[in-house]
Amino acid sequence: MRLELKDIKGGELEQGYTCSLEEFPDLGVIAAVGGPKFGEPLEFQLRFQRLGQLVEVDASLDALVTLKCGRCLQPFEQRLSEVFALTFVPLLKDDETEEEVELETDKLGLISYENEVLELQEPLQEQLLMAVPISPICKTSCCGLCPVCGTNLNVEKCDCVQKVFNNKFNVLANIDFKKS
């Protein structure tokens, strides 16, 4: 997953990438520890614009991911579609200041490239991970689990809430308010 600067002919290039999971090893590691599980293929559409040594990329991604609902804890599939932008700048070759320059570009959200080659794998993998919702919910109407018995309230009902309510009501009903 790399693009040579010379392939951006006339300063502009639009390119689609259809990727397998193998190309993004971190995704497999995250899925293995119970994190979001990406499906295949992972699709990207990238538009490169070269301005001298600077390359601006307007991009979009499209992927299917299996997440765990934060309310009912059931796995569900969600399609991720995001647009994002990347900016590539050449890594400065000054031996004494190289480290400092690299840190600076990092802070500005710029990606350094070397030898006229843009490495796309890492920034695209990062965008996939950033597209994952932090608190996924299977549907806005998800009823979640009963906090008392753990029943999935999307599937069946329990009477725990009613019982708790009745108990509180009975306690209140038995208090003799006139005495105090």
Site string for Zn ion, 102-141 (x = CB under 5 A): ------------------------------------x---
Q: Are 4 and 32 in contact (CB under 8 A)?
A: no
Question: Binding Zn ion by CB under 5 A: which of 54, 103, 108, 148?
Answer: 148
Q: How far apart are CA 70 and CA 24, in angstroms?
A: 26
The size of the interface with Zn ion (CB under 5 A), counted in residues, is 11
DSSP conformation class of 23: G
Please count the other Cβ atoms lying within 10 Å of the Cβ belonging to residue 68.
15
CA 116 → CA 31, 73, 76, distances in Å?
34, 47, 42
Q: Is 149 in the site for Zn ion (CB under 5 A)?
A: yes
Q: Which of residues 31-70 bind Zn ion (CB under 5 A)?
A: 69
Backbone angles phi, psi at 127, to 5 degrees: -65, -35
CB of 74 to Zn ion, least distance (A): 6
143 sits near Zn ion (criterion: CB under 5 A): no
| Of the candidate residues 58, 112, 142, 152, the single one contacting Zn ion (CB under 5 A) | 142
Residues that bind Zn ion (CB under 5 A): 69, 71-72, 138, 142, 146, 148-149, 151, 158, 160
